[in-house]
Amino acid sequence: MASSYPRPVVAYLRVSTEMQDVESQWIIIQEWAKSSGVNIDERLVEREPASGAEDERSVFQELWSRVREKKVGTIVVAELSRLSRSMQRVKATGKHVGRPPKLSPEQVLETLKLYTNRTPISEIARKLRTHKSTIYRYLKRYGVIKY
């Protein structure tokens, strides 16, 4: 089946005990892919050691690295809990998880300075080459405005 996704779609399966089996997760993912018309390009399996020790070069960290490099476009999991613990571990190592920020720290400071000097929002957005809603979002995030 042809996929309309521009970058590879990767199935991520994770088991944390010897009693768990990835096959039930794989069946769920295959059924979803078939009903959605999505082609799974790769299947990655993470088997966590019984001790709970974290491997520096875990399958998920490798996958997340490929996502950041835009080599993987979509991750498919059978349950969010399969992804959640891995995401929490990556966050705990101090790595940024999620969408990249629209403004750099320097641009945020410039936004706050310009707004404090009563520069209109539209002018700030134009200067920073972003949308007004982005400026409003950052001003709200830093408690400069309430709405």
pLDDT at 125: 97
Most confident of 1-15, 51-65, 82-96: 1-15
Query: For tokens 């936004």, what's the residue?
Result: 111
Which residues fall within 8 angstroms of residue 102, CB to CB, at 6 or more apart?
130, 134, 138
pLDDT at 54: 54
More confidently predicted of 2 and 70: 70
Helix H segments across the chain? 22-36, 59-68, 80-92, 105-116, 121-128, 132-141
Instruction: Name 45's bridge partners.
Output: 13
* Span 69-79, average pLDDT: 89
121: left (phi over 0), alpha (psi -120 to 50) or beta: alpha
Window from 57-61, 102-106, 112-116 with minimum mean pLDDT: 57-61
Tokens of 99: 């969408």
pLDDT at 42: 95
pLDDT for 108 beyond 70: yes
Quick: pLDDT tens for 15-59: 877 777 888 899 999 999 998 889 999 999 988 765 555 555 588
Helix axes 121-128, 132-141, angle to 10 degrees: 110
pLDDT at 1: 45
Q: Among 79, 21, 74, which Cα is nearest to 47's? A: 21
- Residue 119 CA to residue 115 CA, distance in Å, equals 5
